[in-house]
Amino acid sequence: MSLLELDGVKVHFPVKKGILFDRTVGHVYAVDGISLSVEAGQTYGLVGESGCGKTTLGRAVLRLVDVTDGRVVLDGTDVAQLPEKEMRSFRRRLQMVFQDPLGSLNPRQNIESILSEGMAAHGIGGNREERREKIKEILAKVGLPGNALSRYPHEFSGGQRQRIGIARALVLEPDLIICDEPVSALDVSIQAQVVNLLEELQKSMGLTYLVIAHDLAVVRHISDVIGVMYLGSLVEEAPSDALYEEPRHPYTRALMSAVPVPDPEVEDRRERILLLGDLPSPANPPAGCRFHTRCPWKQDTRCATERPELRDLGGGHRVACHFAAEIASGEITRTSGEVVPAAHEGSGGSGGSEASGAPRASGASGGGAAKGSSSGERASEAPAGT
């Protein structure tokens, strides 16, 4: 049995309006029916562009936001249904590493106080001395010296702070750690350091991770299974390598086409699928397939009316697209959208008229899940090259 199982999890935020007292006028469907499972000792990567609900999903698992519907089962216990009091002691088994290393540490607490607080709340380590020993042990594991104890968060660098955040999660010896964009706020050189540390800790302590990120390279490196989210739901889920080698959902294909390839010859031939339009508002999601408004393979039947379920296409590769098989076999070709050679990306007027400039820009932001790595650099270099 899997360590963590999500079954039809929904998180809807009420939209309120009112002069004196607020009235609910609608909902933001941040997470809208997600089912997935994370195996013990493995890493599940969750990717998607900003606003797709991946952070909310992570918080729902920790019950930092209330789950509207569905079940979040950790090791046989439904976290979403636990009474407040039991939930508090259950939190020991679920921990989180945050995106902003400085913001996630209380600036007025020193490191010892930050790390011992959780232990005190759960009665781990009888007295101060025992706790201090344990903290020193954990600090050594994340590569911080014992004399860090009396120092304050602002005295550390970004990477060091993130390692403190990881240490805070580790002191409670959790089963599952949710890493919400664990490296996106760090320099690239430090990113590798932290990712390697996470992997090392997983091996030595048998941890299970749910990694939420938008950086496809990081996710591929660290994950065993990857889920791709779009507008509050999962569109594709597959073992890491399978997803990168053969993305089956149109959205995933567009995302993957934004990832640069290290081989210059392949890179020259790489084609970029540009998505049209913006991410629709999660307060008013499109009917049918959530992606049909931007899908380059959109069909006249089913897409706009029927919401696709995740279907297993073999080998644990699950896709939520009515026509995934047909697209893969080439029976269906693109009906809209634009494909440009990646090498010309960002070079202004090369691919079309002025009018196509706007959708292209938003198409690039659709592929923004891959931002950071190198598409930005390419864009700035391209004009010089042409």
Partner 1 sequence: MSLATTKTSKIDRLAELTAKKETSSGASLWREAFRRLRGSKMAIIGAVVIAAFVVVAIVGPWLAPYSPTAQTWRGEVLANQGEFVGARGENWFGLDHLGRDMFSRMLVGARQTLLVGVVSMLIGLVLGALVGAVSGAAATLGGRAGQRLDDVVMRVTDIMLALPSLLLAVSIAAVLGQSLTTVMIAVGVVQIPIFARLLRGSMLAQGGKDYVLAARSLGIRKRRIVLTQIMPNSLSPVIVQATLSLATAIIEAAALSYLGLGNPDPAIPEWGVMLSQAQRFFDNAPMMSMYPAVAIIITALGFTLLGEAMREALDPKLRG
At its nearest, how many Å lie between partner 1 and the CB of residue 154? 7
Which of 52, 72, 148, 238 touches partner 1 (CB under 8 A)?
148
The site string for partner 1 over 1-40 (x = CB under 8 A, - otherwise) reads: -------------------xxx------------------
Least Å from the CB of residue 96 to partner 1: 5
Q: What is the C-alpha to C-alpha distance for residues 213 and 49, in angstroms, rounded to an integer?
A: 9
Candidates 278, 279, 262, 261; CA nearest to 270 is 261
Please identify which residue in 45, 53, 118, 351 interacts with partner 1, judged by CB under 8 A.
118
Minimum Å gap between C-beta 93 and partner 1 is: 10
Residue labelled with tokens 């779009």: 230
Residue 105 binds to partner 1 (criterion: CB under 8 A): yes
x/- contact string, 71-100, with partner 1 (CB under 8 A)? Answer: -----------------xxxxx-xxx-xxx
Residue 136 binding partner 1, by CB under 8 A:
no
Contact 10, 66 (CB under 8 A): no
The phi-psi region of residue 267 (left if phi > 0; otherwise alpha if psi is between -120 and 50; otherwise beta) is alpha
Distances (CA, A) of 5 to 8, 48, 86: 10, 20, 19
Number of residues that bind partner 1 (CB under 8 A): 56
Q: Which is nearer to partner 1, 148 or 319 (CB)?
A: 148
| Binding test (CB under 8 A) with partner 1, winner from 161, 168, 214, 294 | 168
Minimum CB distance to partner 1, residue 311 (Å): 33
Helix (H) or strand (E) holding 94: strand 94-97
Closest separation in Å from C-beta 66 to partner 1: 9
Query: How many Cα atoms are found within 13 Å in the side-chain-facing hemisphere of 39?
Result: 6
Binds partner 1 by CB under 8 A, chosen from 24, 50, 81, 147: 147
Instruction: Give me 21's structure tokens.
Output: 């007292």
Cβ(312)–Cβ(328) under 8 Å?
no
Give the span between the Cα atoms of 53 and 232, in whole angstroms.
5
How many Å apart are CA 254 and CA 267, to the nearest integer? 16
**106 contacts partner 1 (rule: CB under 8 A):** yes
Is there binding between residue 64 and partner 1 (CB under 8 A)? Answer: yes
Question: Nearest CA to 342 among 314, 323, 370, 317?
Answer: 370
Q: Of the candidates 50, 196, 284, 336, which one interacts with partner 1 according to CB under 8 A? A: 196
Shortest CB 33 distance to partner 1, Å: 24
Among 1, 17, 76, 107, binds partner 1 (CB under 8 A): 107
Write the DSSP assignment of 329-358 as a string of letters.
Answer: HTSS---S-EEEEGGGTT-STTSS-GGGHH
Chain residues binding partner 1 by CB under 8 A are: 20-22, 59, 62, 64, 88-92, 94-96, 98-100, 103-110, 117-118, 121-122, 139-145, 147-148, 150-152, 154-156, 160, 163, 165, 168, 172, 192-193, 196-197, 199-200, 221
